[in-house]
Amino acid sequence: MKHVPVNAESSSSPRSWLARLEPYLTTTVRAVTAALLLGIVVVIAWQVFSRYIPGIRVPRWTEEISLIMMVWLAMLGSALAVRAGEHLAVDVVVRQFPPAFRRLFARGIWLLVAAFGLYLAWYGYELAVRTMVQTFAATKLPIGLMYFSIPLGGLLITIYSLRNAWLQPEFDHGMEVPSRSWLLRGALLLMAGLLFGGGVLLFGWDQLIGPIGILLGSLAVLIILGVPIAVALGVASLLTVFSLGLPPLIVAQRMAAGVNSTPLLAIPFFILAGMIMAEGGIAQRLVDFARVLVGPVRGGLAMVNVVTSMLFGGVSGSAVADVSANGSILIPMMKRKGYDTDFSVGITVASSVQGIIIPPSHNAVIYSLAAGGVSIGALFLGGYLPGLMVGLGLMVASYVLALRRGYPSDERPPLRESLRISFAAIPALAVGFVIVGGIALGFFTATEAASIGAVMAFFISILIYRELPLTKLWQATLQSVRTISIVIFLIATASAFAWLMAFLRIPSAMAAGLLSITDNPILLLLIINVMLLLLGAIMDMAPLILILTPVLLPIVTADPINMSPVHFGIMLLMNLGLGLTTPPVGTALFVGCAIGKIRIEEASRAMLALWPVMLLALLLVTYFPWFVTVLPSLLGVPR
């Protein structure tokens, strides 16, 4: 979102006084959240190192202190994300209206966000007071100390939402989205019709006009209207609680329970490591190494793009980080070498999906939590072959397109230079090997491995590559804070939403609806894939994992499908990863278009030659579990 400047006020007016005070408040909150993130890194890193230092006992308090800091970080940081308008939202429908209406609508959305912030402030305080009598096992600190972050964060969310409503923000994510495209409108109407018809078919009219309809319907309406998804989940949960006559405090309780989870600590480290690697020269080393491997082949620079995504995605675990880091290097390079802009953007966006599948992936951690504790090590190992399948398919497509369009090959550096580049890439590659190998071989938990990865990325960027000055480190830390906060806050509200879905028995109702259509496992999996692809095209990945996993996992693991949770997790990530590359709401596609300075329609035309190989890989993974299960089985990692 961007903010329209307001007229100058008298220096004595309340508005002017508040306008002068607010930057100091924001600077303070930024400093506190950055300190909390770095504190978590230090505490968990000490936990790991103390295990291997003779004579030092492994401290029991580290995870509890880190958990307290993470919840405070999430609540304060989510307020900063509200101020910047960075919470995930789907505003494509609202963009179809005139600018004056959009600005008026945006003000209404901010007022709704402010109201939800007031709910968190009021009931979060009540929850914190109630839990002051409960204590953590090791530190004996009151649990309420952690939950006092909820009312403070809610109050800051309210303040920043009212600020944004006053400044009359316009929706603008810096992306070229067609605002009056009949094709886009038709696609949105078609998707909406299919999803509504599917809802009626699965649940029936009787259930859709009751609490189930309130929960799912209000969520759909709020998301369509452009309300931030995390807030939409919370408001939909509150509306359903009111309709059921349950106490409103239950939403705050379920939100708190959703973030009171030690495995969640892995997510901040993966995100911070990815940010550091994007800023610290690691991406450039991986690009150079990929040029040594595949550059001389026809269309080699496109293949370099794919291989770089394999390598960088296997370290950062983020498709958007992949596009941002690699795209800023490779898209201009490909254009200078004679590649069409649309293809340069398309192959960058398509190859970024590997970052979600090839470990480590913080989205796999989110799925593990949503699935009730599926082995993160098995998910990481299970993603290797599917990620390589996507990459190899894209390399074949790149070669064919290079022959048809006359794209050149790249030159491999001389032998001495190639050896220097290869040795320079070893530290960058070591980060991913340490993370995944440490988890798979049982040396570290996922949280510990992620913390070691962040520390390694820091020291490699500072001491070996020497490309991470303090200004870049500070910016990477602040951006990590906002991204982490968005994800954790989303997990909190999605936890309340998922609890209500279980309370209303939505998974069993949906299973009965699907089985009423067919009991053929092949057709059932095809239906689920189509549904996931449609949803992935209109919503972001993290909220869909949190919403859909509790619904679909019981269905696919039971008769007649009998799919393992690890297999379903990789299938889910591949589906939703494809959604990041598709209009109208593909985040990776938006970032690639912004870097390449082209419209979404142009990039989408280039993607038409790349989507088929990605869909083929998805179908192979869906119907042949071997591709997912072979590596965990060979290494004896429990699934």
Nearest Cα to 78, choosing from 63, 88, 68? 88
Residue 576, burial from CB neighbour count under 10 angstroms (0-12, 13-18, 19+): buried
pLDDT at 175: 40
Diameter of the chain measured on Cα atoms: 73
pLDDT at 294: 81
Helix residue spans in 413-520 (DSSP H):
415-440, 446-459, 470-503, 506-517
Distance CA 603, CA 583 (A): 10
* Lowest-pLDDT range of 237-246, 282-291, 368-377, 554-563: 282-291
Distance CA 538, CA 501 (A): 21
Helix residue spans in 371-414 (DSSP H):
376-382, 384-405
Nearest Cα to 151, choosing from 233, 255, 243? 255
Which one is predicted more confidently, 14 or 389?
Answer: 389
- The residue type of 209 is I
488-540 per-position pLDDT tens digit? 998 899 899 989 988 988 888 777 778 888 889 999 999 999 888 888 877 77
Q: Is the pTM of this model over 0.75?
A: yes
Residue indicated by tokens 């912030």: 117
335-381 per-position pLDDT tens digit? 888 889 999 999 999 998 888 888 878 888 889 988 988 888 899 89
